[in-house]
Structures are given as C-alpha cells and as structure tokens.
Amino acid sequence: MQCPCNPQNLYATCCQPLHLGTHLAHTPLQLMRSRYSAYAMRQIDYLMHTTHASVLKLYPRASVAQWANSTIFYGLTILYAEGTIVEFEAQFSTNNKPTELLHERSVFIQEHGVWYYTKGEHLS
C-alpha cells in the first residue's frame, strides 16, 4: 500500500519501519512525515512515543485518539524543513465535515539521538 505521507512511496519502506520501531527518524522531516502517517493510520502509541515528555500532558492520549479516529487524511505537503523546524500543510476532514487545511510550523527536539515533536504553531 502507498504511504499516507507520500503516495509515491510504499508504506512498508517509508513510515512503517518507524511505526514498528525498527528504525528511528533521522531528521525532523522524517519524524514529521511518520507522525502524519501515524495520524492517518491511527497509530496512537507512535504519536505518544514521539511527543516529547515535557509537553505530553498537552496531548492527552484519549484526545489524540478521538481526533485521529474521527479524521480522514487526504495529503501532506512539506513547505519548509530546516534545522529543528518543519512547516507543512495537511488536508483532512473530521466527522465528515468539509475538507480543512492545517498549516503548521512544527518544532522538534533531539534528545539522546532521538527526535521528538515539541510544539506546533498554526499559521493561516
């Protein structure tokens, strides 16, 4: 099957090894893509594991799961990726509502060689 983060890639060789824990994300961009795919495939544990502990309380598992489970994801566009920053647009529909566009600038942090999501600023 195609990977949600990029229809030109196979899930098996793109984000699945990260979701399974057999590979770590080498870059914030790779982590961001894998988190998008995790939302799309409702891999809630992966989303929790890749959120930095310092902000985890802002993203309660039940809320993340509820949103992911009621949302269909249509595509990801990377606008910018440099250093610890990834800016992207994601198209999705929640609860069968019209398609929305999320434009976010995400910030990642590396700790002991592992990248984590820390925060996102929503842009319009």
- What is Dmax (Cα atoms) for the chain? 41
- Contact between 3 and Zn ion (CB under 5 A)? yes
- Contact between 90 and Zn ion (CB under 5 A)? no
Which residue matches tokens 């039940």? 62
- Contact between 15 and Zn ion (CB under 5 A)? yes
Which CB atom, from 18 or from 44, has the smaller least distance to Zn ion?
18
Q: Site residues for Zn ion, window 37-76 (CB under 5 A)?
A: 37
- Contact between 81 and Zn ion (CB under 5 A)? no
In a 13 Å sphere around the CA of 11, the CA atoms on its Cβ side amount to 13
Residue 19: strand, helix, or coil: helix
Which residue matches tokens 């594991």? 49
User: What residues make contact with Zn ion under the rule CB under 5 A?
Assistant: 3, 5, 14-15, 33, 37
